[in-house]
Amino acid sequence: MAAAPATLRVYGPGLLLTSVAVLVAIAISALAGPALGALTVAVVLGAVLANVRELPAALSPGLRFASRTLLRAGVVLLGLTVTLDEVRQLGWEGILILTLVVGATFAATAWLGGRMGVNRPTSVLIATGTAVCGASAIAAMSAVLPDRDEDIDDGAAVAIASVTLYGTVALITFPFLMAPLGLDDLTYGAWVGSSVHEVGQVVAAAAPVASPGPESAIIVKLTRVLLLAPLVAVMAWQFRRAAPEGTGEAGKAPSPVPPFLLGFIALVLIGSWVDLPERFLEVAGLAKDALLAAAMFGLGTGVVVSTLIKQGRNALLLGGISSVFIAVVALIGVRIVAG
């Protein structure tokens, strides 16, 4: 019985601060609109707080719990945002092209990051956020990066800054490129869904066009979200192979398929085969947003501004190049599918 109060004393202070930060982040995001998601606000709040003054050591266990355990729980709930029926609407050719776009963007960004002197965790996280689905993808990949990497927190902050900055640029500029590129509503929506970073940014970028443009954008975007699972699984397997004997949590190498990723896949299947109540999905969506915002706040508190400035210039440049790359490759892919 004494274990519960002891656990509360250890984790309570950090989790209480995290809860307040999540509420503030959600409120700011609601006021700012879809271009500024709660996850982005949360990581900024964490970074600002950590750099205004040194945080008390008593907060560390709860903040670490948020940035690790709550992160994994949020990624599991992300599985309810996409169904197999939506994916099937793309057809095999569309799925193949989209997979190639995501894979090429991830590989090119990770490779270029090494050539530009950006550390590996940051390169991988920028590559993941740009190729798949912004901050949610960054959160998922952060969960499988080896714990011994001290650059994960800074890398997550830079990666989120990148997808926020360039995703915002995209949602403003893409509607003006539709006519010069000769895209109709359907192909424009597919281009937006296959290249813009955050789901909210995709919705905003596709909103100015008529149906079926917005619907096409969402379907393609949610299919990119589904590709998060195999991408993270492959990277987890690579990290496991590279891990020295006896590293990872509890003295073991990381699992080749992290349990949270299996949970993500399970919820995709459940959401695809079971007609879940709308109210349940709404509550699950709110819980997912809150958990991921909590994780981002925890990661944000680990950001050291001096380190961020030191590596941020090349990292943000990498994010810009990667964003242009995926826009161009996705446009080629959309034209191929459209025939």
How many Å apart are CA 11 and CA 60, to the nearest integer? 8
Q: What is the 3-state secondary structure (H, E, C) of 104-167?
A: HHHHHHHHHHHHCCCCHHHHHHHHHHHHCCHHHHHHHHHCCCCCCCCCHHHHHHHHHHHHHHHH
**pLDDT 10s digit of each residue in the chain, 339 long?**
455 566 778 888 899 999 999 999 989 988 887 656 787 788 788 888 888 888 888 888 898 888 778 878 887 888 887 788 877 877 888 889 999 999 999 999 999 999 998 888 889 999 999 999 888 888 888 888 875 555 666 778 788 888 877 887 887 789 889 999 999 998 999 999 999 987 767 877 887 777 778 888 888 888 888 888 899 888 888 887 776 554 444 444 445 556 777 888 889 899 889 988 999 999 998 998 898 889 878 877 876 666 566 657 898 899 999 999 999 999 999 999 887
- The CA radius of gyration of the chain, in Å to the nearest whole number, is 19
Tokens for 39? Answer: 């996850």
pTM of the model: 0.73
Q: How many CA atoms lie within 13 A of 84 on its CB side?
A: 11
Question: Within the chain, what is the greatest distance between any pair of CA atoms?
Answer: 68
Query: Do the Cβ atoms of 186 and 220 come closer than 8 Å?
Result: no
Composition of the chain by helix, strand, coil, percent to 5: 80, 0, 20
